[in-house]
Structure 1
Amino acid sequence: MKTKERKQEDKINRDLAENIKQVKKVFQDCSDVIYREIQLSEHIQGLLVYIEGIIKVEDVQQHILRPLIEGLAQHPQADGEIYPLSFTRVSLSQAQSATDWPAVINGVLTANVAIFVEGMDEVLLFSVKGGSRRSVTEPQTEAVIRGPREGFTESLRINTALIRFKIKTEKLKLLDMVIGKVTKTDVALAYIEGLAEENLIADVKERLENIDIDGILESGYIEEWIEDNPSSPFPQMQYSERPDSVAAQLLEGRVAIFVDGTPFVLIAPVTLWQLLQASEDYYERFFISNMIRWIRFFFLFLALFLPSLYIAVTTFHQDMLPSTLILSIAASREAIPFPALVEAFIMEISFEALREAGIRLPKTVGQAVSILGALVIGQAAVQAGIVSAPMVIVVSLTGIASFTVPRFGLAVTVRMLRFPIMLLASAFGLFGIVIGAVWIVVHLTQLKSFGVPYMNGIAPYVPEDTKDIFSRVPMWKMKKRPSDASRANMQRIGKSRPLGSDSNEGW
């Protein structure tokens, strides 16, 4: 009985004065809510309600107020009533009606203009979403030498439009949902029908619908909610602000999650090899891409193990180095009061602090602080006898190596894992490094991203997938999609071959 009474209270009243009283009660102390009363005819009044700053004022003036003021919104009948407001000449395509207060309030909060009319228990909501938003610019975190220069913005519909520009097919689907009880953030799940597996789509959709939280301010909120193993340091979803990267992943059968208010789009599922690939790997010829990829793998190894190798060799395995080199290192460390582990920790933590300061400071100051800080602190520490010159070289090489990892999430993971491996190296030497490496490999083989093995292609071994892991074969040789993404439609390339390909059958 109470539910029926409450539903009756939620209905829009035919009395405009009562509606004005109710809407002003709901938006009490909201200075950005605008109320515009209009005279539709001699006996009929109306009210426009919208939030300033999130709508296009020009559209309200041109396409709503002008037709209404000119008397085009009403048409008296013989019995004195008027036609529904949907019969107006308001020239806006996105319109919907509402007959209860929750729908009206939600419409106003989501950049709609609500129009109340005396004698009508129906409210029309016209979408005039606008306001000041950042325009499409070059991505800040995924710069390339060759490739598109456009990046996602904080507007959900601009981002989905950028994908539509690249994938012109009706099979590109976008499922909209709202997450966050307070923020009511718009989220869109994108996939290509026929490429993405049905169980993957259903799994991602179910995980998104099960999120129960007050607010979503960035896609990172969602990432923590829906990943398979939240306790793992390795990222189990890829995020990107490049439309070409997201389009490429959709074409391989993966799904993308767009979140309003952030330029970073989530991609699932993900593998370790995917996080080590850059979009530019596919824009350059495969010879160049392979060389860059091999350099990237080598420096990934250095970023993870170089300080630990230095600690292990100088502490336990001096006989592994040439005599001249070990004498040079010993001479440089003669006056150092700390063991190699403490020395490494001092320099690594200082380097991480400088890197963080360089990011947080304004751009004009940040780069100068990070570069000068590293030079001044490193030189001063060597001269003061706190750290040795070889350790400064090792830490510098390690820092440079970590920048070669194309995905920030994986780069941070490597930086974090470096410290426990250094502890193992100081306790057990090279044997400790092997223990750390085995632990990482075992963890990676057990890790999954939406049911897909994290090291798919190598563990489990899939011969077809190895064409794009440690090296990339020519584009026209990658005829099938990765097995981790799309099993429904594996074929990517038809029977056509480039001119001159007959002489390259050895690849």
Structure 2
Amino acid sequence: MFARWLSSKKHPSLPKQNIIVEPMASMPLFATIQENTDYVRQALGNSTDIVIREFTYNSITEGVAILYTDGLVDGNVINDFIMRAMMTDSLDIDPKQNPFDVLEMHTLTIGEIQKVLDMKNLFHHILSGDSVILMNGYTTGLAASTKGWKDRGVTETNVETVVRGPRESFSESIRTNTALIRRKIKDPNLWVETFQVGKVTQTDVVLMYVHGIAQDSLIIEARNRLSQIQIDGIFESSNIEELIQDEVITPFPTVYNSERPDVVALELIQGKVAILVDGTPFVLIAPALFETFLKASEDYYHRVDISTLVRILRYAGFLIALLAPSFYVAITTFHQEMLPTQLLISLAAQREGIPFPAFIEALLMEITFEVLREAALRMPRSIGSALSFVGTLVIGQAAVEAGIVSAAMVIVVSITAISSFVFPSYDLSNAIRILRFPLMALAASFGFFGILAGLLGLILHLNSLQSFGVPYLSPFAPLELNKQKDALFRMPFQSLFSRVRTVHTNNVVKKAKRKPFRP
């Protein structure tokens, strides 16, 4: 009764709301300044950061307006190169002449100027940091590039650190990032295509490739995948990565990302494509092969012997990080006869009094370490490193003294953790962190047979993966002997004169083979 009575009462009158205007509607501009500015104000909800300045220009006394977004523009450029230039211009304009043509050819001293033909184009320019000039009596406008927001600038990389090599990294500005790549590749065949992705955010996404090296089918495929994205917002390149990758249900990354311009430039001249997203310093590279995640840019800045040794150590670290806890669980649970007698006696003495089986022991230590690692990443930098170091040391020592875990298990987990940090790619490390737990469960259930079954399933899964149509395990599977010069080993530059054919590329020859120097 009360609910029925309450619903029958009239609600207090609310203030009249403006009609919702779709700001991206593809409609022509109005012929008057007042109609255009009213539409812009209404579409943007009378936002206070939208600046509309009306003034007169030359003999046009009925009205000129400039529209821009405060905070996205360089105020000095607007004041000095647009408004001052227009207000002090004494050039006589022929009534038969279009004043926008005079502005573009004689008055404005700004390099990038574009015509604005409809409302969708107008809103895109205003919300991207450009300034739009409108005049009474004209259904077109003029957009001048006045972008001037603050960015982080080019700084030293924090993730992909190197001992020798360039130290610069990408920033959150997409134009800064494209310029950094062009500094590395000055070839006019380096082509750039721009997309707007995200219905609400309208994020700028750039597709870069070297025309004549990257195969047309790869470029078309990348272009189609970007144009087919239907989502409200893009805030980081990982959003694009998840939407364009070939396989979603897999722990392994099938799109590579890097914050180093030299890495992206190297991959571009290998026939790959790069995808840059405005607002993030991480650039996507496709196609991405498994061996790509075990390479580092530093491999090409050191001598061949050192680079090859380090690369082999990375592959060894991959196996250790993936299998070390599983092997320990399998040996201590099922296959004690594989250990030397003295080592077996030592392990048995350490495990005396441990209340948990080896699998639970390993599971506790692995979960504890993962929690400590995540806590160190989220803590302030000033105390994050101290927390990870002291926490691991204190907890491990206390767990051994309390008889919860054995000292051998602490050693195995520590070696596993150290090995997981040798990869240049953090994404591959995440995949190993996920796969380590089911392999330990198989080892605790079936011993080495369980580990073998898990590895076979893992290899079959890797063989089924593709990245933009390229087999994920190339050039190992399918095996190409002539492409092993830069896979497991790094041969001298004199031998690296061809690109991997499994990566879509037209131009197979990478560089001429250098003749030996003879004094």
Q: Normalising TM by the smaller chain, what interval?
A: over 0.9
Q: CA deviation at 1:102?
A: 2.1
Gap regions ≥5 residues in structure 2:
1-23
Q: CA deviation at 1:416?
A: 0.7
Question: Which of these residues, 30, 33, 37, is aligned with residue 47 of structure 2?
Answer: 30
Which deviations, in whole Å up to 9, do the C-alpha atoms of 1:148-185 show, x marking residues without a partner? 01111111111111111111111111111111111111
Q: CA deviation at 1:47?
A: 1.6
After superposition, residues 385-404 of structure 1 pair within 5 angstroms as 385-404=403-422
Q: Distance between the aligned counterparts of 2:511 and 2:354, measured in 1?
A: 61
Which deviations, in whole Å up to 9, do the C-alpha atoms of 1:453-485 show, x marking residues without a partner? 111122111111111121111111112111222
Kindly tell me: are residues 398 and 83 of structure 1, through their superposed partners in 2, closer, same or farther at Cα, counting changes over 3 Å? closer
Kept in 1, the 8 Å contact 2:291–2:487? The answer is: yes
Kept in 2, the 8 Å contact 1:75–1:83? The answer is: no
Aligned: 1:39 with 2:79: no
Q: Distance between the aligned counterparts of 1:274 and 1:127, measured in 2?
A: 38
Kindly tell me: are residues 80 and 298 of structure 1, through their superposed partners in 2, closer, same or farther at Cα, counting changes over 3 Å? closer
Q: Distance between the aligned counterparts of 1:123 and 1:190, measured in 2?
A: 30
| Percent of residue pairs identical | 43
Q: CA deviation at 1:333?
A: 1.0
Aligned residue pairs, count: 494
Kept in 1, the 8 Å contact 2:41–2:47? The answer is: no
Kept in 2, the 8 Å contact 1:34–1:49? The answer is: yes
Q: Distance between the aligned counterparts of 2:497 and 2:98, measured in 1?
A: 66
Q: 1:231 matched to which residue of 2?
A: 249
Kindly tell me: are residues 90 and 374 of structure 1, through their superposed partners in 2, closer, same or farther at Cα, counting changes over 3 Å? same
Letter in 1 for 2:151: R
Secondary structure of 2:139's partner?
Answer: coil
Secondary structure of 1:115's partner?
Answer: strand
Secondary structure of 2:494's partner?
Answer: helix
Question: Which of these residues, 166, 169, 183, is aligned with residue 165 of structure 1?
Answer: 183
Kept in 1, the 8 Å contact 2:58–2:92? The answer is: no
Question: Which of these residues, 131, 139, 150, is aligned with residue 121 of structure 1?
Answer: 139
Question: Which of these residues, 103, 117, 124, is aligned with residue 121 of structure 2?
Answer: 103
Moved more, 28-37 or 154-163: 28-37
Q: What do you get for the CA RMSD once the two structures are aligned? A: 2.0
Q: 2:461 matched to which residue of 1?
A: 443
Letter in 2 for 1:312: A
Question: Which of these residues, 12, 20, 27, is aligned with residue 10 of structure 1?
Answer: 27
Kept in 2, the 8 Å contact 1:45–1:118? The answer is: yes
Q: CA deviation at 1:100?
A: 2.3
Aligned: 1:368 with 2:380: no
Secondary structure of 1:311's partner?
Answer: helix
Question: Which of these residues, 430, 441, 461, is aligned with residue 423 of structure 1?
Answer: 441
Q: 1:130 matched to which residue of 2?
A: 148
Q: Distance between the aligned counterparts of 2:123 and 2:77, measured in 1?
A: 20
Normalising by structure 2, what TM-score? 0.92
Q: CA deviation at 1:292?
A: 0.8
Kept in 2, the 8 Å contact 1:139–1:241? The answer is: yes
Q: CA deviation at 1:120?
A: 2.8
Secondary structure of 1:415's partner?
Answer: helix
Q: Distance between the aligned counterparts of 2:505 and 2:369, measured in 1?
A: 45
Letter in 2 for 1:468: D
Gap regions ≥5 residues in structure 1:
1-6, 502-507
Moved more, 483-492 or 371-380: 483-492
Q: CA deviation at 1:80?
A: 11
Kindly tell me: are residues 480 and 80 of structure 1, through their superposed partners in 2, closer, same or farther at Cα, counting changes over 3 Å? closer
Letter in 2 for 1:186: D
Q: Distance between the aligned counterparts of 2:216 and 2:97, measured in 1?
A: 55
Letter in 1 for 2:52: Y
Kept in 2, the 8 Å contact 1:240–1:264? The answer is: yes
Q: Distance between the aligned counterparts of 1:81 and 1:153, measured in 2?
A: 41
Q: CA deviation at 1:290?
A: 1.0
Q: CA deviation at 1:386?
A: 1.0
Q: CA deviation at 1:82?
A: 5.2
Q: 2:12 matched to which residue of 1?
A: none
Q: 2:198 matched to which residue of 1?
A: 180
After superposition, residues 316-395 of structure 1 pair within 5 angstroms as 316-395=334-413
Kindly tell me: are residues 81 and 262 of structure 1, through their superposed partners in 2, closer, same or farther at Cα, counting changes over 3 Å? closer
Kept in 2, the 8 Å contact 1:447–1:454? The answer is: yes
Q: CA deviation at 1:95?
A: 0.9
Moved more, 261-270 or 95-104: 95-104
Letter in 2 for 1:15: T
Q: Distance between the aligned counterparts of 1:65 and 1:78, measured in 2?
A: 22
Q: Distance between the aligned counterparts of 1:480 and 1:206, measured in 2?
A: 28
Q: 1:504 matched to which residue of 2?
A: none
Q: 1:145 matched to which residue of 2?
A: 163
